[in-house]
Amino acid sequence: MRWKTAEYEGWGRALRAEGQLARPERRAALDLLMQQEPSPAIGMRRSYGDACLNDGGRAIDMTRLDKFLAFDTDTDLLTVEAGVTLGEIVDTLGPRGWIPAVLPGTGFATVGGAIANDVHGKNHHLDGSFCQHVTELTLIAPDGTAQTVLPDTDLFRATAGGLGQTGVIATATLRLRRIKGDVMTVTERRAPDFDTFRALLDESQASYTVGWIDTTATGARLGRGILEEGETIAGLVPPKKPSKSVPFDAPGIALSPPVVRLFNRMYYGRVPKRGRTVVKPLDNFFFPLDKLHDWNRLYGKHGFHQFQCVVPLAAAEVIRDMLGRVAVSGLASPLAVLKRTGPGRAGHLSFPMEGYTLACDLRARPEAEKLIHRLEAQTADAGGRIYFAKDALCSADRIPQMYPELEAWRAEVAKADPDGVLKTDLVRRLKLRGAA
């Protein structure tokens, strides 16, 4: 097993790379690679932009290092290789009463990727970020040496959300959450405008909350959407629908403004005014799009960008203004999410802060890039930040304002990888490891 030249891309498909990839199947092969030809690690490439790309260079594909190593039912501690996906953990241990404490919007994310981006989920307001539930990890340095890294250390804080720049994550131990059963009861409520939506988010006492938002609504309906509140329960698992795939790149008309407006109107109307409660399998609630494989092809051959920001609670009106800008642009897709986040974060470059996070998809075109740059400026001016796992366009000069712990991260990374062999396209574009 050595290197093979390949073309690959981020999930948004707007940014691509060509380079050499290696796919070790055993830990010994990974150790040898790092001793002889150290390179950054990548997983399932579910980062939307260029966080998972190394154009013109080498990268280690970790997806075959996907073994479950140990599970202690008394302490709820699970040790896995970094290539295990979160969906595999849910499928394997969910029926037995355990799931990861934090789950992002896709089960295809690997444990290594979840750590490198310190991902968050629908329960961040209560339980914080993914790495706050990691009790230890094994990190392989560019010289091939391995070390155990524990929380509350400088190296851990640089690794959590650190985009793989401190070494290759080989294994991790996670503290899982005990659940009542592998079924979700989900209450759906309509919010006719932004103020109502925000109030519902602020008042929710549910374990999991997430809001779909209609980014085509204007005027008095601006910011309308559907809030979902979920709890795990014991019960009969509803039958799962078979997965489907998008077989080709959709034409531009598929997500044209009239089509998106019609879809959003129908989607909003599917929930009665009085609301409703439904029962879903775990994966249908946590990973709603995973059953439609290759759904990113709906945006056409040029792909799309996802803009995701978080702003402080006091800057909620900035979110309202952003929604207004997106609505009048006619560029947005049906996929837009609004959530309330708490203060939990584990690393210097972890994304969350206490506030509101907005995410929306925009087809990759010049008008969308201009809009995103304007939204980035609003985010920075409001004291917020953008999410590296979704970013493809941000300017390097905005990062120090958004991430005040950047210098502490740089200092630790410089010790861990002094020759810069772990740099990726995103790290270079945003000049994260040098003065912007």
Cβ–Cβ < 8 Å for 74, 47? no
DSSP letter at 30 equals H
Cβ–Cβ < 8 Å for 363, 259? no
Q: How far is CA 332 from the centre of its chain?
A: 19
Domain 183-399 is of which CATH architecture?
3-Layer(aba) Sandwich (3.40)
Please tell me the distance from the alpha carbon of residue 229 to that of residue 139, in angstroms, as a whole number: 37
Summarised one tens digit per residue, pLDDT across range 72-106 is 999 999 999 999 999 999 999 999 999 999 999 99
Please tell me the distance from the alpha carbon of residue 65 to that of residue 26, in angstroms, as a whole number: 6
Count of alpha carbons within 13 angstroms of residue 184, beta-carbon side: 23
Cβ–Cβ < 8 Å for 112, 160? no
Order of strands across the sheet that contains 385-386: 276-281, 183-191, 225-233, 208-213, 332-341, 355-363, 304-312, 385-386
- The pLDDT value recorded for residue 1 is 53
Cβ–Cβ < 8 Å for 390, 337? no
Tokens of 36: 């002889």
Question: Could you write out the three-class secondary structure of 91-145?
Answer: HHHHHHCEEECCCCCCCCCEHHHHHHCCCCCCCHHHHCCHHHHEEEEEEECCCCC
> What phi and psi, each to the nearest 5 degrees, are found at residue 239?
-60, 140
- The pLDDT value recorded for residue 436 is 38
List Cβ neighbours of 220 (8 Å cut-off, separation of 6 or more): 193
- Provide the mean pLDDT of the chain: 96
Please tell me the distance from the alpha carbon of residue 43 to that of residue 62, in angstroms, as a whole number: 5
Q: Give bridge partners of residue 279 from the DSSP assignment.
A: 185
Ordered by start, the domain boundaries in the chain are 183-399
Summarised one tens digit per residue, pLDDT across range 304-324 is 999 999 999 999 999 999 999
Cβ–Cβ < 8 Å for 91, 283? yes
Cβ–Cβ < 8 Å for 37, 409? no
pTM > 0.85: yes or no: yes
By C-alpha distance, which of 296, 270, 285, 210 is closest to 240?
Answer: 285
> What phi and psi, each to the nearest 5 degrees, are found at residue 117?
-110, 0
Q: What is the pLDDT along the chain (436 residues), one digit of tens a residue?
A: 589 999 999 999 999 999 999 999 999 999 999 999 999 999 999 999 999 999 999 999 999 999 999 999 999 999 999 999 999 999 999 999 999 999 999 999 999 999 999 999 999 999 999 999 999 999 999 999 999 999 999 999 999 999 999 999 999 999 999 999 889 999 999 999 999 999 999 999 999 999 999 999 999 999 999 999 999 998 877 777 788 999 999 998 889 999 999 999 999 999 999 999 999 999 999 999 999 999 999 999 999 999 999 999 999 999 999 999 999 999 988 989 999 999 999 999 999 999 999 999 999 999 999 999 999 999 999 999 999 999 999 999 999 999 999 999 999 999 999 999 999 999 999 999 975 3
Please tell me the distance from the alpha carbon of residue 211 to that of residue 190, in angstroms, as a whole number: 10
Q: Is the dihedral of CA 202, 203, 204, 205 positive or negative?
A: positive
Please tell me the distance from the alpha carbon of residue 293 to that of residue 31, in angstroms, as a whole number: 33
- The pLDDT value recorded for residue 412 is 97
Please tell me the distance from the alpha carbon of residue 133 to that of residue 392, in angstroms, as a whole number: 28
Write the CA distances from 63 to 6, 25, 99, 139, 233, integer angstroms.
Answer: 15, 8, 20, 16, 32
Q: How far is CA 209 from the centre of its chain?
A: 16
